Structure 1
Protein backbone atom coordinates (compact mmCIF):
# COMPACT_ATOMS: atom_id res chain seq x y z
CA UNK A 1 0.00 0.00 0.00
CA UNK A 2 1.13 3.52 -0.66
CA UNK A 3 2.17 5.71 2.25
CA UNK A 4 -0.91 7.89 2.07
CA UNK A 5 -3.12 4.84 2.71
CA UNK A 6 -1.26 3.64 5.84
CA UNK A 7 -1.49 4.43 9.53
CA UNK A 8 1.91 3.77 11.08
CA UNK A 9 2.44 6.21 13.94
CA UNK A 10 1.35 5.42 17.48
CA UNK A 11 -0.19 8.90 17.73
CA UNK A 12 -2.46 8.19 14.75
CA UNK A 13 -3.51 4.82 16.18
CA UNK A 14 -4.38 6.43 19.52
CA UNK A 15 -6.40 9.13 17.77
CA UNK A 16 -8.50 6.50 15.99
CA UNK A 17 -8.96 4.56 19.24
CA UNK A 18 -10.10 7.68 21.14
CA UNK A 19 -12.27 9.39 18.53
CA UNK A 20 -13.39 6.36 16.57
CA UNK A 21 -16.03 3.74 17.10
CA UNK A 22 -15.39 0.00 17.31
CA UNK A 23 -17.17 -2.94 15.73
CA UNK A 24 -16.26 -6.57 16.32
CA UNK A 25 -16.94 -10.21 15.69
CA UNK A 26 -15.03 -13.28 16.89
CA UNK A 27 -12.14 -12.79 14.50
CA UNK A 28 -11.63 -9.02 14.15
CA UNK A 29 -12.10 -5.71 15.88
CA UNK A 30 -12.37 -2.73 13.53
CA UNK A 31 -12.05 0.86 14.74
CA UNK A 32 -13.41 3.57 12.42
CA UNK A 33 -12.80 7.28 12.57
CA UNK A 34 -13.57 10.09 10.16
CA UNK A 35 -10.60 12.06 8.90
CA UNK A 36 -11.65 15.44 7.52
CA UNK A 37 -8.44 16.20 5.60
CA UNK A 38 -8.35 13.14 3.35
CA UNK A 39 -10.67 11.88 0.65
CA UNK A 40 -9.39 8.30 0.73
CA UNK A 41 -9.20 5.52 3.29
CA UNK A 42 -6.27 4.88 5.62
CA UNK A 43 -5.49 1.51 7.20
CA UNK A 44 -3.67 0.42 10.34
CA UNK A 45 -3.24 -3.22 11.30
CA UNK A 46 -2.45 -4.74 14.68
CA UNK A 47 -1.64 -8.43 15.16
CA UNK A 48 -0.65 -9.65 18.62
CA UNK A 49 2.33 -11.90 19.31
CA UNK A 50 -0.12 -14.39 20.79
CA UNK A 51 -1.26 -15.27 17.25
CA UNK A 52 2.07 -16.80 16.29
CA UNK A 53 5.62 -16.09 15.24
CA UNK A 54 6.66 -13.24 12.94
CA UNK A 55 6.04 -15.25 9.78
CA UNK A 56 2.47 -16.06 10.81
CA UNK A 57 1.73 -12.48 11.92
CA UNK A 58 3.07 -11.00 8.68
CA UNK A 59 0.99 -13.46 6.65
CA UNK A 60 -2.14 -12.30 8.50
CA UNK A 61 -1.24 -8.65 7.89
CA UNK A 62 -0.61 -9.28 4.18
CA UNK A 63 -4.00 -10.95 3.82
CA UNK A 64 -5.75 -8.04 5.55
CA UNK A 65 -3.95 -5.55 3.28
CA UNK A 66 -4.94 -7.53 0.18
CA UNK A 67 -8.56 -7.55 1.33
CA UNK A 68 -8.57 -3.76 1.71
CA UNK A 69 -6.86 -3.29 -1.67
CA UNK A 70 -9.47 -5.46 -3.40
CA UNK A 71 -12.39 -3.71 -1.71
CA UNK A 72 -10.95 -0.20 -1.61
CA UNK A 73 -13.44 1.20 -4.11
CA UNK A 74 -16.38 -0.10 -2.04
CA UNK A 75 -15.22 1.38 1.29
CA UNK A 76 -16.03 4.82 2.56
CA UNK A 77 -13.07 7.23 2.99
CA UNK A 78 -12.32 6.79 6.68
CA UNK A 79 -9.51 5.66 8.92
CA UNK A 80 -9.61 1.93 9.70
CA UNK A 81 -7.65 0.12 12.39
CA UNK A 82 -8.02 -3.66 12.24
CA UNK A 83 -7.08 -5.82 15.22
CA UNK A 84 -6.86 -9.56 14.58
CA UNK A 85 -8.05 -11.98 17.25
CA UNK A 86 -7.03 -15.58 17.97
CA UNK A 87 -9.24 -17.52 15.46
CA UNK A 88 -7.60 -15.65 12.55
CA UNK A 89 -4.37 -17.64 12.89
CA UNK A 90 -6.05 -20.80 11.57
CA UNK A 91 -8.17 -19.19 8.81
CA UNK A 92 -7.52 -19.06 5.09
CA UNK A 93 -7.98 -15.92 2.98
CA UNK A 94 -11.58 -16.60 1.96
CA UNK A 95 -12.69 -17.09 5.56
CA UNK A 96 -10.90 -13.89 6.57
CA UNK A 97 -12.53 -12.02 3.69
CA UNK A 98 -15.99 -13.22 4.71
CA UNK A 99 -15.37 -12.24 8.34
CA UNK A 100 -14.03 -8.77 7.47
CA UNK A 101 -16.97 -8.13 5.14
CA UNK A 102 -19.30 -9.12 7.97
CA UNK A 103 -17.71 -6.62 10.39
CA UNK A 104 -17.65 -3.83 7.80
CA UNK A 105 -21.32 -4.42 6.97
CA UNK A 106 -22.14 -4.12 10.66
CA UNK A 107 -20.20 -0.84 10.70
CA UNK A 108 -22.11 0.36 7.60
CA UNK A 109 -18.96 1.54 5.86
CA UNK A 110 -19.44 -0.33 2.58
CA UNK A 111 -20.87 1.81 -0.19
Structure 2
Protein backbone atom coordinates (compact mmCIF):
# COMPACT_ATOMS: atom_id res chain seq x y z
CA UNK A 1 0.00 0.00 0.00
CA UNK A 2 1.22 3.50 -0.75
CA UNK A 3 2.26 5.49 2.30
CA UNK A 4 0.65 8.86 3.06
CA UNK A 5 3.58 10.93 1.65
CA UNK A 6 3.27 8.99 -1.62
CA UNK A 7 -0.36 9.95 -2.26
CA UNK A 8 -1.77 13.03 -3.95
CA UNK A 9 -4.68 14.15 -1.79
CA UNK A 10 -5.45 17.78 -2.68
CA UNK A 11 -7.60 18.74 -5.65
CA UNK A 12 -5.24 21.53 -6.69
CA UNK A 13 -2.41 18.98 -7.00
CA UNK A 14 -4.58 16.73 -9.19
CA UNK A 15 -5.52 19.65 -11.44
CA UNK A 16 -1.90 20.79 -11.77
CA UNK A 17 -0.68 17.35 -12.83
CA UNK A 18 -3.55 16.76 -15.26
CA UNK A 19 -3.34 20.22 -16.87
CA UNK A 20 0.42 20.71 -17.01
CA UNK A 21 1.84 17.20 -16.95
CA UNK A 22 3.00 15.05 -19.83
CA UNK A 23 0.20 12.76 -20.97
CA UNK A 24 0.26 9.25 -22.36
CA UNK A 25 -2.84 7.26 -23.24
CA UNK A 26 -2.72 3.50 -22.89
CA UNK A 27 -5.30 0.89 -23.77
CA UNK A 28 -6.89 0.92 -20.31
CA UNK A 29 -5.65 4.13 -18.68
CA UNK A 30 -4.28 7.63 -19.18
CA UNK A 31 -1.18 8.60 -17.23
CA UNK A 32 -0.18 12.20 -16.46
CA UNK A 33 3.33 12.87 -15.09
CA UNK A 34 4.91 16.09 -13.92
CA UNK A 35 8.37 16.58 -12.43
CA UNK A 36 8.23 18.96 -9.48
CA UNK A 37 11.99 19.10 -8.99
CA UNK A 38 11.59 18.47 -5.25
CA UNK A 39 13.70 15.90 -3.43
CA UNK A 40 10.95 13.67 -2.05
CA UNK A 41 9.23 10.38 -2.74
CA UNK A 42 7.12 10.24 -5.91
CA UNK A 43 3.40 10.80 -5.35
CA UNK A 44 0.51 9.00 -7.04
CA UNK A 45 -3.14 9.89 -7.54
CA UNK A 46 -5.95 7.91 -9.14
CA UNK A 47 -9.09 8.99 -10.97
CA UNK A 48 -11.70 6.24 -11.35
CA UNK A 49 -15.04 7.65 -12.51
CA UNK A 50 -18.50 6.15 -12.35
CA UNK A 51 -18.14 5.22 -16.01
CA UNK A 52 -15.82 2.41 -14.86
CA UNK A 53 -18.59 0.70 -12.91
CA UNK A 54 -20.31 0.55 -9.56
CA UNK A 55 -18.55 1.30 -6.26
CA UNK A 56 -17.22 -2.24 -5.83
CA UNK A 57 -15.76 -2.27 -9.34
CA UNK A 58 -14.24 1.21 -8.98
CA UNK A 59 -12.59 0.30 -5.68
CA UNK A 60 -11.22 -2.92 -7.16
CA UNK A 61 -9.67 -1.01 -10.06
CA UNK A 62 -8.26 1.61 -7.65
CA UNK A 63 -6.72 -1.09 -5.42
CA UNK A 64 -5.12 -2.74 -8.45
CA UNK A 65 -3.66 0.57 -9.61
CA UNK A 66 -2.32 1.28 -6.12
CA UNK A 67 -0.65 -2.14 -5.98
CA UNK A 68 0.98 -1.58 -9.37
CA UNK A 69 2.25 1.87 -8.37
CA UNK A 70 3.52 0.58 -5.01
CA UNK A 71 5.54 -2.03 -6.88
CA UNK A 72 6.88 0.52 -9.39
CA UNK A 73 7.53 3.38 -6.92
CA UNK A 74 11.20 2.55 -6.17
CA UNK A 75 11.95 2.99 -9.89
CA UNK A 76 9.98 6.24 -10.33
CA UNK A 77 12.18 9.33 -10.26
CA UNK A 78 12.12 11.37 -7.02
CA UNK A 79 9.82 14.39 -7.04
CA UNK A 80 7.51 13.05 -9.73
CA UNK A 81 3.74 13.46 -9.41
CA UNK A 82 1.74 10.83 -11.30
CA UNK A 83 -2.02 10.78 -11.87
CA UNK A 84 -3.59 7.72 -13.47
CA UNK A 85 -7.10 7.96 -14.93
CA UNK A 86 -8.75 4.56 -15.38
CA UNK A 87 -10.79 4.08 -18.54
CA UNK A 88 -14.04 2.05 -18.42
CA UNK A 89 -12.39 -0.95 -20.09
CA UNK A 90 -10.01 -1.29 -17.11
CA UNK A 91 -12.74 -2.97 -15.05
CA UNK A 92 -12.70 -6.04 -17.29
CA UNK A 93 -8.95 -6.11 -17.89
CA UNK A 94 -6.90 -8.89 -16.22
CA UNK A 95 -4.40 -7.68 -13.61
CA UNK A 96 -1.33 -8.76 -15.62
CA UNK A 97 -2.45 -6.78 -18.66
CA UNK A 98 -3.34 -3.74 -16.52
CA UNK A 99 0.08 -3.91 -14.87
CA UNK A 100 1.88 -4.18 -18.19
CA UNK A 101 -0.05 -1.21 -19.62
CA UNK A 102 0.55 1.05 -16.59
CA UNK A 103 4.28 0.21 -16.41
CA UNK A 104 4.58 0.92 -20.15
CA UNK A 105 2.87 4.28 -19.64
CA UNK A 106 5.21 5.21 -16.82
CA UNK A 107 8.26 4.21 -18.88
CA UNK A 108 7.16 6.23 -21.90
CA UNK A 109 6.65 9.35 -19.84
CA UNK A 110 10.16 8.94 -18.38
CA UNK A 111 8.84 8.46 -14.87
CA UNK A 112 10.88 5.26 -14.58
In angstroms, what is the RMSD of aligned CA positions?
1.2
Deviations 1:43-82 (A, max 9, x none): 0000010111111000100000001111111111200000
Give the aligned length: 110
In 1, distance between residues paired with 2:103 and 2:65?
Answer: 11
- Which ranges of 4 or more aligned residues in structure 1 deviate by more than 4 Å? none
TM-score (structure 1 length as normaliser): 0.91
Residue aligned with 1:71, SS: helix
Question: Paired residue for 1:70?
Answer: 71
User: Which range moves more in the overlay, 20-29 or 52-61?
Assistant: 20-29
> Pairwise mapping of residues 1-111 of structure 1 onto structure 2 (< 5 A)?
1-77=2-78, 78-110=80-112
TM-score (structure 2 length as normaliser): 0.91
In 2, distance between residues paired with 1:72 and 1:90?
Answer: 25
Long gaps (5+) in structure 1: none
Long gaps (5+) in structure 2: none
